[in-house]
Amino acid sequence: MDRWGLTLPLTGVPLPAHRDLVRSLPDLGYTDVWSAETAGTDAFTPLALVAEWAPGMRLGTAIAPVYTRGAGLLAMQAATIAELAPGRFVLGIGTSTPTIVTNWNALPFEAPFARSRDTLRFLRAALRGDKVTDKYETFAVSKFRLERPPTPPPQVVLAALRPGMLRLAAREADGAITNWLAPSDVPTVRSALGDEPELVARIFVCPTTDAAAARGLGRLLISSYLTVPVYAAFHEWLGRGEALRGMHEAWAAGDRQAANAAIPDEVVDELIVHGPPEKCRERVAEYVEQGLTTPVISILPTGDDPSEMVRALGRA
């Protein structure tokens, strides 16, 4: 079954106000709901509500950070959602960013590759019900066992941007999650991940015919994200280093306005899906044609009712 995912909660919409929309998602052709975790809702609570409101939906976290919860708590929260949606929950984990981990949560952001690997290994054991006592490279666990291991254990996928983390996802996880890529970038990501593992991507969609407004919003987001070192390295690997050089230089000089202006229209149009809803649906489908398993639409605000945009972007 081909997948058509949605990021929830919607920007600016209170969590309880999602109920009727979520109940309509299967009829609109959506198969998946994926949450996120920055400074709004946590990654797990919205999925517990979706499990009740639309029991057939597949649920996923994209992502729950590996640093901001203890290993046992992360396993407990995953087991809770897996019990609510048996066989339909995917635990997406990743390193997140130093801003979230250190600046907002006062935790050290150290050894991201090793912490991701160690967390994957712990979760594999814990979620199948093992009693875990192990000294990993980045943390140690003594005599942890879930009271009610979920049956079946949830799949675990890893946030990955470049070859090292993608290869780790292929070896030790059930797939990878990525974002900020164009359809033409999917084969490059697949070259490191392989053809078999699931590949999930959050795709930023701005359903509007006002191209200038969509590009303006896109530039703000691109300069906010792609100046972060891991994303800068990702796009260097994807071949956009030269196209984004002006943005990086202006950003380093402290000139946000010039950084935005330096982003070429072609880059914005590659990374932000915009246009009328039917064109947006066709563009998202291109990702799947290039090898993406699970597209997850993240709707950008246009001033219109976001619930109506969800309906317009459905496949039904």
pLDDT in tens, 201-231: 999 999 999 999 999 999 999 999 999 999 9
Smallest Cα–Cα separation from 48: which of 38, 61, 39, 37? Answer: 61
Strand partners, 91: 156
pLDDT digit string (tens) for 156-190? 999 999 999 999 999 999 999 999 999 999 999 99
pLDDT value of residue 309? 97
Backbone angles phi, psi at 74, to 5 degrees: -60, -45
Phi/psi class of residue 194: alpha, beta or left (left: φ > 0; alpha: ψ in -120 to 50)? left
Report DSSP state, residue 15: G
On the question of pLDDT at 5 being above 80, the answer is yes
Cα–Cα distance measured from residue 252 to residue 160, given in angstroms and rounded to the nearest whole number: 25
- Exposed/middle/buried for residue 291 (C-beta within 10 Å: 0-12, 13-18, 19+): middle
Over range 88-117, report the average pLDDT: 97
Instruction: Give, in order, the Cα–Cα distances in Å from 214 to each of 26, 229, 255, 268, 275.
Output: 28, 25, 21, 9, 8
Any bridge partners for residue 176, and if so which?
158, 199
Q: Would you place residue 1 in the very low, low, confident or very high pLDDT band (cuts 50, 70, 90)?
A: low
Give percent above pLDDT 70 in the chain.
Answer: 100
Give mean pLDDT, residues 268-272: 98
d(CA 14, CA 11): 8
The model's pTM: 0.97
The 8-class DSSP code of residue 100 comes to I
Cis before 152 (ω within 30): yes
207 DSSP 8-state letter: -
Please tell me the predicted confidence (pLDDT) of residue 221: 97
CA–CA gap between residue 154 and residue 297 (Å, rounded): 22
Question: What is the Cα–Cα distance from 32 to 47, expressed in whole angstroms?
Answer: 11
Hey, which residues does 58 pair with through a beta bridge? 32
Tell me: pLDDT of 269 over 90. yes
Does 232 score more than 90 pLDDT?
Answer: yes
Cβ atoms 120, 156 nearer than 8 A: yes
Percent of residues, the chain, with pLDDT higher than 90: 98
Report which of 241, 244, 225 is spatially closest to residue 99, judged by C-alpha positions: 225
Give the separation between CA 57 and CA 171, rounded to whole angstroms: 27
Cβ partners under 8 Å of residue 303, min gap 6: none
Would you say residue 270 has pLDDT above 90? yes
* Token pair in block for residue 214: 């969509």
**Structure tokens given for 295:** 């597209």
Q: What is the mean pLDDT of the chain?
A: 97
Residue 198's nearest CA partner among 237, 154, 156 is 156
**pLDDT tens-digit readout, 21-32:** 999 999 999 999
Q: List the one residue out of 258, 259, 272, 287 whose CA is nearest residue 212.
A: 272
Q: Can you say how many angstroms the Cα of residue 263 is from the centroid of all Cα atoms in its chain? A: 23
